[in-house]
């Protein structure tokens, strides 16, 4: 096995796959990347048995072969080489040599046969959509995923597909993020699948904002995403996602419209004096005005008053300021609409002229 590539052409696929590799491994071979060299291309595979990523690079005149190479060391070496250098990777006995200019590094390897082979994916349905659409939907909802919740089905993102729309949903039990796009998915019936947290974080890193179409292959227990240069596969969470539509408040008729950036800045300032444990702030609404009030155990207080388009009088609700800030940051547009019902009900936060993205934040007793 032998091939030569410019540093930048080798670094890109390495960057794409190295993040999949966990630092702590149950099997030594999982700390390595599977390298398969054909005459005109190289395939790099990283896996942690939950998530697998295959990236490729074009080659000329390579000597075919396959082996596994330590992922982090190889990536760090290539990253540290000078820009524009030609990198040659060759294998002799059970060692791989990486050389560029006057630098030479010899790395231990493990046999390619030890690397876990990916399961054949039984494709139930194929969906095509622009890459930028999926990236946007994930970015505007993923922050609301749970982390290590005992309700394992919350530790991921729901893909909810209908015939003409694609929806992403995340909740940790304290807040809910729903964002959808009207795209003809080509699906015949409604489908729901829960992609685990690590799979979503890798997808976020991988997806670019281009309008090129990517293909999603939906299996019974796996999801595969195909782009011209990479193939990403993740296991799915086997569980039932809660009925999120029942959580979206109905009858929240007290409407408050505010400038998005003004509200965000006011919340950030008030958060400085909020209780470090509960991060609570009180939202007080009176006609044409919204007040953000924060207290902490040291008896310190922050009060922010901002103009608002509202006729609501005398409602006061407590919220976790971090949840409010993350919801507002995920919205676009100059103004946000906050819909309230009473002091003990959730708030619905969305853009004024669009219901594509909706965020529900549970109240906090202060």
pLDDT, residue 38, reads 93
CA dist 192 and 91 (Å) reads 46
Detail the DSSP E strand segments found in 117-163: 123-130, 156-161
Assigned token pair, 288: 């044409």
- The structural domains of the chain, with segments of one domain joined by +, span 2-114, 123-245, 248-361
pLDDT at 50: 92
Contact 282, 274 (CB under 8 A): no
| Residue that wins the pLDDT comparison between 256 and 251 | 256
Looking at beta carbons, which pairs linking 223-229 to residues 24 or more positions away fall under 8 Å?
Answer: 223/159, 223/193, 223/195, 223/199, 224/121, 224/123, 227/131, 229/13, 229/55, 229/56
The pLDDT-based confidence of 106 (bands split at 50, 70, 90) is very high
Q: What is the pLDDT of residues 173-199, one digit of tens each?
A: 999 999 999 988 776 688 999 999 999
Mean local confidence (pLDDT), 43-56: 95
Whether residue 66 has pLDDT greater than 90: yes
Select from 3.30.460.10, 3.10.150.10, 3.30.70.100, 3.40.109.10 the CATH code of 248-361.
Answer: 3.10.150.10
Predicted TM-score (pTM) of this structure: 0.92
Angle at the Cα of 155 (from 364 to 191), degrees rounded to 5? 110
Q: How far is Cα 203 from Cα 297, in angstroms, rounded to an integer?
A: 41
66-83 burial: b if 16+ Cβ within 10 Å, else e: bbbbbbeebbebbeebee
- CA distances for 261 relative to 29, 285, 302, angstroms: 49, 18, 18
At residue 251, the pLDDT reads 85
Contact between 289 and 308 (Cβ < 8 Å): yes
So what's the pLDDT on residue 132?
A: 95
What pLDDT is recorded for position 119?
72
Fold for domain 123-245? DNA Polymerase III; Chain A, domain 2 (3.10.150)
DSSP tag of 11 = H
Task: Return the CATH number of the domain spanning residue range 2-114.
Answer: 3.10.150.10
Using the predicted structure, report yes or no on whether residue 346 has a pLDDT greater than 90: yes
- Residue 271, pLDDT score: 97
What are the phi and psi torsion angles at 359 (to 5°)?
Answer: -125, 130
Fold match between domain 2-114 and domain 123-245:
yes
The torsion region of residue 206 among left (phi > 0), alpha (psi -120 to 50) and beta comes to alpha
pLDDT band of 147, cuts 50, 70, 90: very high
121 vs 212 pLDDT, higher one = 212
Confidence class of residue 209 from pLDDT cuts 50, 70 and 90?
Answer: confident
pLDDT band at 366 (very low <50, low <70, confident <90, very high): confident
SS3 363: coil
Q: How far apart are the first and last CA of the chain?
A: 66
Look-up of token digits 């809660």? 242
Residue 190, pLDDT score: 87
d(CA 307, CA 309): 7
- Indicate the SS3 state at residue 209: coil
- Strand duo 357-361 + 41-47: pairing: unpaired
């Amino acid at each position: 096995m032998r091939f030569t590539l410019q540093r930048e052409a080798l670094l890109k696929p390495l960057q794409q796959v190295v993040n999949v590799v966990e630092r702590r491994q149950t099997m030594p071979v999982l700390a390595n990347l599977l390298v398969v060299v054909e005459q005109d291309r190289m395939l790099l595979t990283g896996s942690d048995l939950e998530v697998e990523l295959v990236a490729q690079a074009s080659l000329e005149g390579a000597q075919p072969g396959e082996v596994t190479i330590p992922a982090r060391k190889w990536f760090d070496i290539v990253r540290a080489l000078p820009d524009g250098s030609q990198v040659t990777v060759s294998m002799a006995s059970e060692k791989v040599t990486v050389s560029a200019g006057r630098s030479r590094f010899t790395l231990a390897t493990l046999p390619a046969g030890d690397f876990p082979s990916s399961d054949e994916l039984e494709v139930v349905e194929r969906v095509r959509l622009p890459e930028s659409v999926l990236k946007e939907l994930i970015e505007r909802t993923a922050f609301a995923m749970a982390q290590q919740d005992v309700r394992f089905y919350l530790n991921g993102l729901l893909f909810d597909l209908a015939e003409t729309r694609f929806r992403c949903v995340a909740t940790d039990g304290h807040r809910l993020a729903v964002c959808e796009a009207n795209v003809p998915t080509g699906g015949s019936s409604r489908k729901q699948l829960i992609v685990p947290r690590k799979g979503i974080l890798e997808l976020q890193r991988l997806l670019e904002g281009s309008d090129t179409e990517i293909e999603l292959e939906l299996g019974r227990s796996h999801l595969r995403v195909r782009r011209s240069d990479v193939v990403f596969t993740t296991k799915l969470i086997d569980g039932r996602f809660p009925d999120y539509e029942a959580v979206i408040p109905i009858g929240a008729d007290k409407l408050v419209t505010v400038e998005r950036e003004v509200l965000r800045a006011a919340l950030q300032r008030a958060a400085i004096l909020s209780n470090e444990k509960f991060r609570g702030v009180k939202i007080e609404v009176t006609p044409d005005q919204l007040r953000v009030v924060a207290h902490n155990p040291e008896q310190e207080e922050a009060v922010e008053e901002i103009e608002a388009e509202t006729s609501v009088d005398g409602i006061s609700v407590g919220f976790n300021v971090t949840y409010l800030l993350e919801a507002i940051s995920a919205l676009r547009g100059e103004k946000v609409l906050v819909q309230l019902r009473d002091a003990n009900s959730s708030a619905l936060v969305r853009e004024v002229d669009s219901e594509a993205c909706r965020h529900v934040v549970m109240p906090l007793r202060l």
